[in-house]
């Protein structure tokens, strides 16, 4: 997940940086600093943020240019009934 994907996912879900931080059990400064490109969170923190967004229906799209994978965008699918978030 890239900073731009994270911002887009939050916008789609209409949640704040604080909402994401609380849901993923990370500091709001971690979300803020990641989204502005100030620092990359450790793998476990990034996974927690991404997992929460995915549980809410966000999908992450990546394009391969033949040499490296580049972030492309997000998708959204309504979560199944009974998803707790």
Q: 41 with 25: CB under 8 angstroms? A: no
In a domain, 85, yes or no: no
More confident residue, 62 or 55: 55
Q: Is the pLDDT of residue 85 over 70?
A: no
In a domain, 24, yes or no: yes
Element spanning 60, H or E = strand 58-64
Tokens of 49: 């943020």
In a domain, 36, yes or no: yes
β-partners of residue 40 are none
pLDDT for 65: 75
Q: 13 with 7: CB under 8 angstroms? A: no
Domain count, the chain: 1
């Amino acid at each position: 997940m890239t900073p731009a994907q994270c911002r887009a996912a939050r916008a789609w879900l209409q949640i704040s940086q604080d909402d994401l931080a609380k849901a993923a059990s990370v500091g709001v400064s971690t979300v803020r600093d990641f989204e502005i490109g100030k620092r990359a969170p450790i793998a476990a923190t990034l996974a927690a943020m991404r997992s929460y967004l995915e549980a809410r229906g966000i999908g992450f799209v990546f394009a391969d240019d033949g040499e490296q994978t580049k972030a492309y965008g997000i998708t959204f699918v309504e979560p199944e009934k009974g998803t707790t978030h």
